[in-house]
Amino acid sequence: MRTLYSVFLSGSLVLLILGSGNASAAGPADSGKPQAAEAAAGPNVIEPIPYFERYKPTFFLVGTPITKVQLSFKVEILDKIPFYFGYSQLMMWELFKSSAPFRDINYNPELFYRFKINSSRIKTLDFGVEHESNGKGDPESRSWNRAYARYYEQKSWKDRSIFWSIKAWVPTGMDDDESRALPKRRGLYEFQIGINDFFGKVFAVNELFLRVYGGGSSRLNPFQGGQELTYREKEGSHIFLLPLYVQIFHGYGENMLDAGVKRWGFRAGVGF
């Protein structure tokens, strides 16, 4: 199982590298004048993956109680059909220990279909299935599957844009006691709300968003689940290219292995 996840991770990193070429400036192949090196490469030339996009926030955050790293992307599978494969990976890294081990890595592949709702605002409705697990053996194994629906909306407000989403799911595939406890720590829904250009045009990019999910015996109580407040900004001088992140977390379920631990997290770092 660990070998399978290692292969999955390696493949995902390759996809990230290939996808990054999609955002680069037009190269020789785009000009219609292929160079000799390209011609010599023959049929083994790897083309960038079209429709490759960022998905959830990607960041590297240092702080207490543990370093937190997340990578995420989505890719459209069929031409002109909004059917997506998404992959997210959350890593809790004990960076400052002598051997700097990863305490927990959460793997989260998913498939979803997106309906765009005709409106003056941006509105979408997704239906999908996802798997999430940490790839560990007993007694540290955590795993569940979810079938979900997610609604997203964005609107303009006073030269800013406000966005919000609600995601609800039905969990399955929880084969051990710790996994069966996940709905009590991660709930049956997740709500997000945010605002772009929170500080107007002071920074090239600035965004504040709140993520809340339910928990407890009802699986719906946000005070027995988790709350996460994230601020992201990018200054406009183009000297430092990565956006800066500040994040505060409180509650249960920040990662799978420690889902039953209630804690505060204070972190800062960069995004990708």
State whether residue 177 is helix, strand or coil.
Answer: helix
| Mean pLDDT score of the chain | 84
Q: Which of 32-46, 82-96, 249-263 has the lowest mean pLDDT?
A: 32-46
Reported confidence tier of residue 115, pLDDT bands at 50, 70, 90:
very high
Residue 83 CB-half CA count within 13 A:
4
User: Quick one: pLDDT at residue 144?
Assistant: 98
User: Quick one: pLDDT at residue 50?
Assistant: 66
Q: How far is 192 from 154, CA to CA, in rounded Å?
A: 12
User: Quick one: pLDDT at residue 46?
Assistant: 56
Reported confidence tier of residue 79, pLDDT bands at 50, 70, 90:
confident
Same-domain status, 41 and 176:
no
Same-domain status, 225 and 259:
yes
Same-domain status, 44 and 65:
no
Same-domain status, 157 and 211:
yes
Same-domain status, 86 and 189:
yes
Same-domain status, 39 and 172:
no
For range 112-125, the mean pLDDT: 91
Q: What type of residue sits at position 24?
A: S
Last residue of a domain, one of 32, 50, 68: 50
State the greatest distance between any 2 C-alpha atoms of the chain, in Å, as a whole number.
Answer: 65
Same-domain status, 200 and 248:
yes
Check whether 15 has a pLDDT greater than 80.
Answer: no
Last residue of a domain, one of 10, 32, 50: 50
Nearest to 159 by CA among 133, 196, 134: 196
Check whether 158 has a pLDDT greater than 70.
Answer: yes
Q: What is the DSSP letter of 159?
A: T
- Percent of the chain residues topping a pLDDT of 90: 68
Check whether 191 has a pLDDT greater than 60.
Answer: yes
User: Quick one: pLDDT at residue 35?
Assistant: 44
Same-domain status, 183 and 77:
yes
Q: Which of 13-22, 58-67, 95-104, 164-173 has the lowest mean pLDDT?
A: 13-22
User: Quick one: pLDDT at residue 205?
Assistant: 73
Same-domain status, 99 and 14:
no
For range 211-230, the mean pLDDT: 97
Residues in the chain: 272
CATH at 207: 2.40.230.10
The whole domain housing 15 covers: 1-50
Reported confidence tier of residue 186, pLDDT bands at 50, 70, 90:
very high
Q: Show the tokens assigned to 96.
A: 């400052």
Same-domain status, 10 and 36:
yes
For range 65-89, the mean pLDDT: 96
Q: How far is 209 from 192, CA to CA, in rounded Å?
A: 7
Check whether 71 has a pLDDT greater than 60.
Answer: yes
Same-domain status, 232 and 118:
yes
b (16+ CB within 10 A) / e for 23-54: eeeeeeeeeeeeeeeeeeeeeeeeeebeebee
* pTM higher than 0.85: no
Q: Which of 5-14, 65-74, 208-217 has the lowest mean pLDDT?
A: 5-14
Tally the domains of the chain.
2
Same-domain status, 201 and 236:
yes
